[in-house]
Structure 1
Amino acid sequence: VLFSKSSNFVENQSGPTHESMQAVFDLQPFRPVVNLSSPTIANLSFTLYAVLGVNEKAQILTTFLWLRLFWHNEFLVWDPDECDGVSRISLPVKELWTPDIIVYDVDDDVSQACPYVYVNHTGHIRWDRMLRLVSACNLEIFSFPFDVQNCTFTFGSYMHTSKESSLSICTKTFKLLENTSGEWELVDLTGESSILQFGIDEWDIITFWVVIRRSPVLYVVNLLIPSSFLMLIDILSFYLPPHSVDRASFKMTLILGYTVFLLIMNDLLPSTANGTPIIGIYFSVCLALMVISLLETVIITNVLHHSSMKYQEIPNWVRVVILKHIANLICYRWPEDVRPPEEAQEEKLESSNGTTGPWVIQPIRYVLDYLLFRIYLLLITCYAMVIITMWCIWISQS
């Protein structure tokens, strides 16, 4: 018995049988329309279940999707009243024609399609598919680890044009689940239908935009906080006595430790051909600042080393600029064991060859150390403000 609008089931048979639909199964290679000039309308429902992983180096996104396809088979229409009230059945998907919907930008597709489809008496068919997709995604890692990524999924027919198969989105049926486990958080999902023009043919396609946000806690705890601690220790090392040799060795130990930290951190940072993340620049500049700090210590140590040696008289304008104007500008307070230049001037002792004693070198070295320390603090403060501002601007625009 042909299973169609005008067909009836075998008498005393509760619902359709395999024999009653054999004629429909035989038409499986053909598009299920009576008039081949009419397109088969396929509707797509999209649910993003989870983000399984992101490979920044390979620019690959791994997701788990749940798709539902709806279409109409004009050969599978019956009257439930003539079939003991049976209005819905399930059939093997391999026995029926199915839309050849694929994802265009996929590197790997692990499909767990349901082997059966649900068919109601009007000929409408529903087919569920669960997909684990490894798809290409252009990742922007400049604001790593506070980055927000926008990846796309494009669905379309492999061989049927718009005249043969029309693809559209089910109204308000694409969504994302509230799944925030793992490193990535699902933020938003939007989609729209469009036409793909290729030569004289047109294909219906559906594009979904998936917005995901990285959870930065792991990177803040493992990268930013330890780096900030090392920079803080480097700043506090300026409070060591400038005449202490331990200050230089201490700073060199910090630089060595920071270098080891950078080597370990290199495995956590994403590496792509699109550019360098701002956090990588941040660590490089921090290392440069620590080197500048060591250079400042070398300069002060050099001045201290020669403080007991015989020097020619320091020009008066140098003493005035450093000991008076610069000292007042940076609000320098003289240590208890160092006399202010006005008092020391009264007790000035010059050797017979016209050299200057350590009373002049010592105040100058303290003022220079204080001045260079303030400049170093200013550089670090400006640098931190620039980094925080850039990150805030980038996050607000994402």
Structure 2
Amino acid sequence: MKVIWKSVSLFKKLHLVVLLDLFLGSIAVSDEKRLISHLLKQYNDVGVVGRPVENFNDTIRVSFGIALIQILDLDEKNQVLTTNCWSRYAWKDKLLAWNPKNYSDVKTIRVPTDQIWKPDIVLYNYADTRLKERREALAVVSNDGQVMWIPQAIFKSSCNIDITYFPFDIQECNMKFGSWTYDGFQLDVFFYDGEKVDLKDYVESNEWVVMDSPAKKNVKTYPCCPEPFPDLTFTIRFRRKVAFYNYILVLPCVLLSTLTLALFWMPPESPAKMQLGMNIFVAFFVLLLLLAESTPPAASSIPLIGAYFCLNMILITLSTFLSTIVINLYFRGAKRRKAPNWLKRVMLDGFAKIMCMTDETYHVDQRGAPKMEGVKLINNKEKKKNKVPELKYNKYQMCECGVSMQNNSSSNNTGDWSNPPDKSPVNITALESEIRDIRRCARSFMNRIAEKDANTKKCEEWRVIALVLDRLFFYMYLIAIVVSICAIFPRSHE
């Protein structure tokens, strides 16, 4: 009984399987699905690896192109360009050809690319840590075996950044594509749609303006192999939008430069000049730090605007140093040596006239030569050699006059003219002593005046020399500003 029951159970199971097969076989399947199943089964039989050609010496022609959708980022520090592109591949696969009449006139199908052969065209200057750069996409196959594959990809390519004219710079980044393993005899590449980057679907960037996007085919031969290796190089030439940097770097730079011009017009002996100079120095240093954050630290060239910041800092430092010297000479000029004649000829007679500073030299002559009758200016070297001129008087006549005046006053008081005045030697000696004291005091007074005038003239000479240097430095700074602006800004109009 048990054997019979097992036989019946097995019969029921077989009957159920037969009914299920009949039911599934009755499901209608489209010709497109049958075609895809047939082609993929055929591909699975022959294998995905290997070029789809009849003869080994045949060359498969692959058309390639890219459509730029968006410039995502340009990392100036790491020199990496990130772009969102549509890659376009087209080639002919004989294993995917069919007769449309056998499949209800189906002429195009979509198949997954992981089950068919596809060219190994990669980005040569790849600069990304990701293992995959493309999104999965189906390939469109025509009945003659023509395959078109348009995957979306995020490319990160290395780009040589030139920041010489930052932020008015124009960058050129190349994207080099080619087969990684096949040579030109096995796989040759051509442009998909003209020698350019397709910009029909490009989304405008907030930072960059695309100026041009040419492309070029290169064929290179390496020393290891005689076979040629073709590649397609796409160049994207774009210019930076400077609206943001005008408010962050350019406008503060112009304002600080104007304020630096006012720094040179302040009196050199004023302490406010040194304080203002140091504040402007710190402001330019802050701008230099902002510039360093936006530029690559290991660049082969420095931006001209950075050199302009450094030039301003150098000139401000020299101006502050010059102001320190002027203040030192102004307040301690009396203890300094006299200005050399060659320096006075160069500064007072040369640059002062060229820069219309004759008023300052006139004041030096006026202050150094005060008009005092009977007084001759004496400098430190001639003080001991030349004595003060003698007083113009006759001591005997003065003595007699003094005695007569004294006698007249006594006679007027007494009314007695019969007795002559007393001309004793004691009175004459006392009078001479007083006159000598007067002469000594007068000589000392005139020497002090002469020494003071000489020191004043010496101080004024050094002060005016410093003023002429300060004015000369002002014109040098003005010329440096004009030259630097002419070197930086014209590039923005290209």
1:166 and 2:191 are equivalent in the alignment: no
Deviations 1:107-161 (A, max 9, x none): 2254333431111122111101222122222222222222222222111112222
1:156 and 2:200 are equivalent in the alignment: no
Kept in 1: contact 2:113–2:137 (CA 8 A): yes
1:249 and 2:275 are equivalent in the alignment: yes
Q: CA–CA distance in 1 between the matches of 2:49 and 2:250? A: 60
- Residue 390 of structure 1 aligns with which residue? 487
Per the alignment, in what secondary structure is the counterpart of residue 149 of structure 2? strand
Deviations 1:244-281 (A, max 9, x none): 33222332333344334434543233312423232222
Q: Which has the higher helix share?
A: 2
Shift of 1:366: 6.0
- In structure 1, stretches of 5+ residues that fail to align are 1-10
1:133 and 2:140 are equivalent in the alignment: no
Match of 1:217 among 226, 229, 243: 243
Q: CA–CA distance in 2 between the matches of 1:192 and 1:315? A: 69
Shift of 1:223: 2.1
Per the alignment, in what secondary structure is the counterpart of residue 457 of structure 2? helix
- Residue 478 of structure 2 aligns with which residue? 381
Deviations 1:279-305 (A, max 9, x none): 222221111000111122112212321
Structure 2 CA distance for partners of 1:233 and 1:191, relative to 1, 3 Å: same
Shift of 1:386: 3.0
Percentage of pairs with the same residue: 23
Per the alignment, in what secondary structure is the counterpart of residue 85 of structure 1? coil
Per the alignment, in what secondary structure is the counterpart of residue 166 of structure 1? strand
Structure 2 CA distance for partners of 1:167 and 1:262, relative to 1, 3 Å: closer
Structure 2 CA distance for partners of 1:76 and 1:189, relative to 1, 3 Å: same
Shift of 1:315: 7.6
TM-score (norm: length of structure 1): 0.83
Q: CA–CA distance in 2 between the matches of 1:51 and 1:381? A: 40
Match of 1:331 among 352, 356, 366: 356
Match of 1:180 among 204, 210, 218: 204
- Residue 37 of structure 1 aligns with which residue? 57
- Give runs of aligned pairs for residues 99-118 of structure 1, distance below 5 A: 99-108=119-128, 110-118=132-140
- Residue 298 of structure 1 aligns with which residue? 324
Match of 1:352 among 424, 429, 447: 447
1:50 and 2:73 are equivalent in the alignment: no
Structure 2 CA distance for partners of 1:58 and 1:311, relative to 1, 3 Å: closer
Kept in 1: contact 2:264–2:471 (CA 8 A): no
Shift of 1:352: 0.3
Structure 2 CA distance for partners of 1:153 and 1:84, relative to 1, 3 Å: same
Q: Which has the higher strand share?
A: 1
Structure 2 CA distance for partners of 1:152 and 1:313, relative to 1, 3 Å: closer
Deviations 1:222-257 (A, max 9, x none): 223223322322321333344433222332333344
**Alignment: residue pair count:** 384
- Give runs of aligned pairs for residues 184-333 of structure 1, distance below 5 A: 184-198=208-222, 199-306=225-332, 309=334, 326-332=351-357
Moved more, 178-187 or 139-148: 178-187
Shift of 1:205: 1.6
Per the alignment, in what secondary structure is the counterpart of residue 352 of structure 1? helix
Q: CA–CA distance in 2 between the matches of 1:62 and 1:117? A: 25
Kept in 2: contact 1:323–1:363 (CA 8 A): no
Kept in 1: contact 2:218–2:230 (CA 8 A): yes
Kept in 1: contact 2:88–2:192 (CA 8 A): no
Deviations 1:64-96 (A, max 9, x none): 221110011112223334433322111121221
Shift of 1:59: 2.5
- Residue 38 of structure 2 aligns with which residue? 20
- The CA RMSD measured in Å over matched residues stands at 3.3
Moved more, 65-74 or 355-364: 355-364
Q: CA–CA distance in 2 between the matches of 1:162 and 1:321? A: 74
Shift of 1:363: 5.1
Shift of 1:99: 1.0
Aligned letter for 2:465?
L
Kept in 1: contact 2:183–2:228 (CA 8 A): yes
Q: CA–CA distance in 2 between the matches of 1:361 and 1:13? A: 111
Moved more, 264-273 or 373-382: 264-273
- In structure 2, stretches of 5+ residues that fail to align are 1-27, 378-445
Per the alignment, in what secondary structure is the counterpart of residue 90 of structure 1? strand
- Residue 121 of structure 1 aligns with which residue? 143
Moved more, 104-113 or 385-394: 385-394
- Residue 6 of structure 1 aligns with which residue? none
Q: CA–CA distance in 2 between the matches of 1:154 and 1:317? A: 66
